[in-house]
A and B are shown apart, each in its own frame.
Chain A
Amino acid sequence: MNKTLLGYVPDRSPIYAIHPFVKLFFLLVVSLFPLFIAAPEWNFGLIIFVLLLMWYSRINMGIMRIYVPVAISMASIIFLAYVILGGYHPEYAQIGQLLAIRVYWERIRDAIVVYFRILPMIVMMVFFLNTSRERDVIVAMRTLRIPFVITYVFAMALRSAGMVIEDFGIVRQAEQARGFDTHGKSLPYRLRKYVMYMIPLFALSLRRAEEFSNALIARGFAFTGPASKIKRADFILTHYHFRRLDALLTAIIGLAFVALLVLRYGFGWFTLSRSVFLPWLETLLRHR
C-alpha cells in the first residue's frame, strides 16, 4: 500500500486504469443518489455496491476500521437527535418509553432513513480517498479545465498539509524520545499540549510561505503580468488518456442518475411507502 495524504492507496489496482475524471464524477454524482432514496434497503444496497468496488480495487478493507467510530458516533447523534430529542407528537405511534421519553415509531423510522442516507456518502468518500493519489485529483481538476491557479493552490494545500503532519509527527517523536507521553493524562492537559503545538506549526508554516514563494518565483511562476497568461502545456495530462471505457462509465453513471430520478418521481420508487424493510421492522418493534 502507498501512503498518500488522502489515504492508503493500493500499489496496483484496476481502478488506476480509469481516468481520474471518472472517479471524481462517480463521487460527485453517486453521492447524490441517497438524497433521492428514502427506503433504507436501497441505500444499504448502495453501501454494499461501493464496498464491493473497494474490494475489487484491492483497497485494504481494514481501513474501514478507522471509520467505525465515526459511524457509531453518527448513529448515536442521530438516535439522540431523533429519538431522545424527538419531542412530543401525539399524532405519532408510540411504541415504547425510555424513562420519561416517549419513543415513537416515526422517529425511529426517520432516524434510520437519515442514517442510511449519510452512510453511503461516507463510504463513497472513503472509496474516493483510498483510490485517488494526489496527482489523480489534480488531473481530474485540469481535465475539467479548472483554472491552473485554483488547481495549483489545491495541490500546494495538499503538499502543505503533508508537511504539517510531518512536522507534528516530528514534534511528537521528539517529546517521546524525552520520555513524554500524553497517554493517560487529563483532557485539559492534552488540550494545553495541543495548543503549544499550534504555535510552532504556524510559525514554521509562515517561514515556509516565504520559502515556497521564492521557489515558485524561481521557477518562473507569476500571478500577475504577461507571464501569468502563458498557455500551459499541462504535461501531467499526457499520462492520462480518456478512453472508450471512461466515456462508457461516465455515460453509465449519468444515465443511472437520470434513471433514478425518473423512477423516483415518475413511478414512486425508493419512497418510504415502497420500502420492504421498514414495515417489517415496525412489526418487529410493535410485537417485541
Chain B
Amino acid sequence: MATARARSKLTTDQIWATAPGEKRQVGVIHIVITALLIGIGFVVGAFGSISFPLGFGVNFFWTGIAVQQVGPIWFGIWGVIAGTIFPFFSNAIAGTPFYVSAAYIPANLIQALLPAFAFRFFKADIRLNSGRDFAILIGAMVVSSALGAMWSVLVVLRSFGLLTTNSIPLFLWGWFGGNVLAGLVFNIILLKALSPVVIRSTAFVKRWLA
C-alpha cells in the first residue's frame, strides 16, 4: 500500500528531525499519553511485582520496565514522568511500603530518562533497524538499571534498615538482573513491533516536549 511504503522510507534522521514548516506543540494528547502510560504501567508493573517478587518492590523479572523505558523513548518527557510515577503505585498495590516506594523515585527517574536520552543524543532508530540501535538500547538499559539498583538497594533499602550488608548483592543483582532481563524481552519486541505505528501518531515526541 502506498502509505506503508511512505512509512518505511523514513530515515533515522527524518524520525527525529522537524521538517520545514512542521509545527510541533504540547497538547492534550501528551497529558493523555502520560496518564495512559501510568495506567498501563500500574497494571503491568503490579503484575511483575506480584508474580516475581524478591522483596521490598525488588523483582527478579520486572515486566514494568517495558513501560518505564519504551514509553520515554517514544514520548519524551511525558514518558519519563509516567515511568517515574507508576512504579510508586504498582509497588504499593503489590505490598511495598508507601515510603519505600516514594524513596525509589530517583531510581525510576534515571531508568526512565537514560534510554530516552540515549536515543535522542545518539540519534538511534527507534525501529531498531541496525546493530548500532540495539547496542544503544542495551547499553542504556544496562547503565540505567545499574544506577537504579545502586540507588534503590544501597541508598533506600539500607537507609530504611531493611537489608543487611551481606544481602546487598542479592538485591542489587535482583534489581539489576530483573530489569535488564525483562527489558531484553519486552523492550526490543515493543520497539520493533510498534515504533512504525507510533512514529505516525500525533503523540510521538521528537524532542522532549513535542
Contact surface of A with B, Cβ cutoff 8 Å: 27-28, 31-32, 35, 67, 70-71, 73-74, 77-78, 80-82, 85-87, 107, 110, 114, 118, 121-122, 124-125, 129, 149, 152-154, 156-165, 168, 191, 194-195, 198-199, 201-203, 205-206, 208-210, 212-213, 216-217, 221-224
Contact = CB atoms under 8 A, between A and B. Distances in A.
Given A70-B50, A213-B29, A223-B27, A195 B39 contact: no
B98 A27 contact: yes
B92 interface: yes
Interface string B141-165: 0000000000000000000111111
- 5 A-B pairs closest in CB distance: A160-B39, A77-B55, A156-B35, A81-B167, A157-B38
Which of B35, B99, B166 neighbours the largest number of chain A CB atoms within 10 Å of its CB?
B35
Interface stretch (B3-11, B129-137, B194-202): B194-202
Which of A67, A161, A164, A216 neighbours the largest number of chain B CB atoms within 10 Å of its CB?
A161
A160 B36 contact: yes
Contacts of B32: 156, 209, 212-213, 216
Contact of A168 (B43, B54, B93, B165): B43
A157 B42 contact: yes
A35 B97 CA distance: 11
B116 to A, nearest CB: 17
A121 B42 contact: no
B94 A70 contact: yes
A114 B166 contact: no
Which of B32, B56, B61 neighbours the largest number of chain A CB atoms within 10 Å of its CB?
B32
A80 B134 CA distance: 37
A149 B38 CA distance: 14
Interface residues of B, number: 57
A195 B189 contact: yes
A78 B39 contact: no
A92 to B, nearest CB: 12
A81 B92 contact: no
A161 B92 CA distance: 15
A160 B35 contact: yes
Interface in B1-46: 25-40, 42-44
B166 A224 contact: no
B117 interface: no
Contacts of B25: 224
